[in-house]
Structure 1
């Protein structure tokens, strides 16, 4: 199998653009990656999960000039036929489709196995059959659990501290096994805590910002002690494209994408308050707390391998990223998409 890593021309017509596919394109990171790929000169086949409303998820908010180069396919990563049809003729497949909410993984763990593990198996099997040039598989920093050493290198032990992280470990190991067993051209991207416009309120930064944007000054959160490595979504999207376009030296590798900056949830609240010009008071709610053994207390990325192999570096500082995110959420049209008055599992 061969892979061309030549960067296409962004000005080329849609028929001239190289074709790539994105599973989970209707989601937060997936929609931003789709935009990034089109701006970089690609044509994108984008999978959005089938629904009776015909919604394309966040792709419905993407500018029309971007969507001219996007073919949306409603389907389901759990269905092998849907996956195979999406991937047909694509030179690179970015596999982002997953169930990601940690609290809901305590409630419905079987659905995480079916989507995150079986869905990944479907992508890998289709790639074998179709001779796909490259698969960029999506992992998560949650597979590391609480950091034993920091910053966290890709060789750090994997710890399944939630059903979600356990299924992502399973999916990562499947991807690894297909590289070792079948020489499938797979590279695993492991993003740390991505944030930005369109993110679900299940995540801490939109939880805070959406409440402030709605006029609240008493913010309801869980544990304030854990540290996170927040990476702005445009930087994460560039990291995905970087490994998709890199040479064969990335194949079989797992690569961290993070900012390399560590901050507690409590200090994140203070920083958001400064950015949004608001005095905030935090109230801890028990329903927002993870089980004690499941909470990941520390995350800090070592992204040196990704930088060495692709030249990628984060570009958006946390303060600037929070400003951009706050501006997006304070738009009434965007804020109306969120249920600020209730806890999203």
Structure 2
């Protein structure tokens, strides 16, 4: 079976690529075009006879139509994801996340792909109106990024309803783990500690449902063989909520860090844009995908954090990250 992955050079995409190769699938990994021939985290995946890396841009419809041809499964993960960046460059998010997704859908339609998995985000829910958040929770865009992802989700479902495109939307909740950039809170804390910097953060009272990357990737892979998921949107979450303040405590305890936390106003989201609480319901994933998180609850979260710290501790990994890059 031949699988095509957009965003394969990114955090989740590279882990998904690696896992699929380990399972014996033939993978075409789309890496964002650049003049240096850089393939992002695919460099860490290593050489494999079943891996074909191509460079391109999902904003190019002609390219996608040709590149996707001949594949049976498409995983669409390519997106701009930095919320702070979306405040400044919202048009870029529309071009990549909305128009880019439309191009993927059109290419899938043209080539009659057997199954397509589109990646969403828990940010589309906004601050929880009830918990745990299931797939029927209202969508509420509190940032340009969230708005672009809601648009991409709605476009995807419109292609399913209008053209009978066999697709599924997977909606991960705050995935974390090795290779994640410091635009996210957990690597921000870890890299600042490991580089012996003061921890500089914004709002630490917010609550999140963090899902370890291995569980997220397994959720994606389950979609390949499962029937009865076409036209469905499925949360992938640990089902465990934790405040950022308590995340800090877990990481500080594991690293023996003693310094105080410094609050920086530039790291704080605009008040109406702050998503105060995200806690996902994963019952649908358990039912339709026969999936369950292996890193769940306080113990599972701590285990995932420990594994993440061990990866960042390696000098060849830590040197790739700038702890001064801030998240919101």
| TM-score with structure 1 setting the length | 0.92
Q: Alignment partner of 2:5: what SS? A: strand
Q: Alignment partner of 1:190: what SS? A: strand
Cα offset, 1:210, TM superposition: 0.5
Cα offset, 1:281, TM superposition: 1.5
Give distance in 1, aligned partners of 2:259 and 2:313: 16
Structure 1 residues 342, 312: CA separation in 2 closer, same or farther (over 3 Å shift)? closer
4+ residue runs over 4 A deviation: none
Give distance in 2, aligned partners of 1:85 and 1:138: 22
Give distance in 1, aligned partners of 2:37 and 2:13: 18
Residues 124 and 140 in structure 2, CA contact (< 8 A), matched pair in contact too = yes
- Decide which of 139, 145, 148 is 1:158's aligned counterpart: 139
- State how 1:99-248 maps to structure 2 within 5 Å: 99-216=80-197, 218-247=198-227
Q: Alignment partner of 2:200: what SS? A: strand
- Decide which of 58, 76, 90 is 2:41's aligned counterpart: 58
Residues 178 and 308 in structure 2, CA contact (< 8 A), matched pair in contact too = yes
Cα offset, 1:298, TM superposition: 0.2
The aligned counterpart of 2:257 is 278
Give distance in 2, aligned partners of 1:86 and 1:57: 19
Give distance in 2, aligned partners of 1:137 and 1:341: 32
Give distance in 2, aligned partners of 1:180 and 1:255: 17
The aligned counterpart of 1:11 is none
Cα offset, 1:344, TM superposition: 6.1
The aligned counterpart of 2:294 is 315
Query: Structure 1: where are the runs of 5+ without partners?
Result: 1-17
Residues 273 and 280 in structure 1, CA contact (< 8 A), matched pair in contact too = no
Give distance in 2, aligned partners of 1:120 and 1:244: 20
Cα offset, 1:342, TM superposition: 4.4
Cα offset, 1:68, TM superposition: 2.8
Give distance in 1, aligned partners of 2:68 and 2:133: 33
Cα offset, 1:276, TM superposition: 1.6
Cα offset, 1:243, TM superposition: 1.5
Q: CA offsets, 1:101-133, max 9 Å, x none?
A: 000000000000000001110111111110100
> Aligned Cα RMSD in Å?
1.1
Give distance in 2, aligned partners of 1:55 and 1:77: 17
- State how 1:1-20 maps to structure 2 within 5 Å: 18-20=1-3
Give distance in 2, aligned partners of 1:133 and 1:280: 53
Cα offset, 1:279, TM superposition: 2.2
The aligned counterpart of 1:255 is 234
